Amino acid sequence: ISQSDKPWFLTALTISTHRPFEAVPDAYINRHKHRSRAHNAYAYADKSLASFLEPLKQRGYLDNTLVIITNDEVRGEANKSMQGLLSRSHGILYILTPDRVKQSIKTVFGQTDLMISILDYLDLPIDHYIAGRSLFRAVSKFQPFMMAHVYPKLLFIMPEPNYLIKCRVLLMACS
């Protein structure tokens, strides 16, 4: 990185935080036997993330780097009730900007918003065919929202506030 004057992009995916939570080193698990496998996996991912970010901070890369940390899916327990499905369908999103402006997003958002957010932050053109909205701009009105839950193979569509449509993944049998 230090030998290039060009922008760079990195995607890192962890398998330690996915079922069956077996990708955590035994030495780490043995030090924390009182924790569940999932708890050890999440704690190990946190530790690994800190080990990744600290050298970037020490070398000054975070002064001009946009860091986005998010999950790729939800916890995965299949719960038949609507409330159970939705309560397990939330994720995390942490964006570390060079200017360190603190912002809390109080509306529903999804991974479809990441591409537009990155383009917006970098002040690059946004094609009108790209789905989503920028997380760096305040939302003044409700925007329709869609999310999938992979384990029970369901798709949720919220076309207006307080109205939720649940469909099987292939958009058959919506209710």
Whether this prediction's pTM lies above 0.85 is answered by: no
Q: Using the predicted structure, report yes or no on whether residue 170 has a pLDDT greater than 70.
A: no
C-beta of residue 157 within 8 angstroms of C-beta of residue 165: yes
Closest Cα to residue 160, out of 175, 172, 143?
A: 143
Q: Which of 10-14, 68-72, 137-141, 150-154 has the least mean pLDDT?
A: 150-154
Q: What is the pLDDT of residue 124?
A: 92
Q: What is the pLDDT of residue 86?
A: 59
Mean pLDDT of the chain: 79
Q: What is the CA radius of gyration of the chain?
A: 19
Name the one residue in this structure whose structure tokens are 């939705």: 86
- Judging by beta carbons within 10 Å of its beta carbon (0-12, 13-18, 19+), is residue 40 exposed, middle or buried? buried
Taking the CA atoms of residue 52, residue 119, residue 88 and residue 81 in that order, the dihedral angle to the nearest 10 degrees is -170
More confident residue, 84 or 70: 70
Closest Cα to residue 161, out of 149, 147, 148, 145?
A: 145
Q: What is the pLDDT of residue 153?
A: 77
pLDDT tens, position by position, 84-132: 655 555 667 888 888 877 777 777 777 788 889 999 999 999 888 887 8
Distance CA 134, CA 115 (A): 8
For CA atoms 93, 124, 157, 77, give the dihedral sign: negative
Distance CA 52, CA 41 (A): 16
Distance CA 170, CA 12 (A): 29
Distance CA 139, CA 39 (A): 35
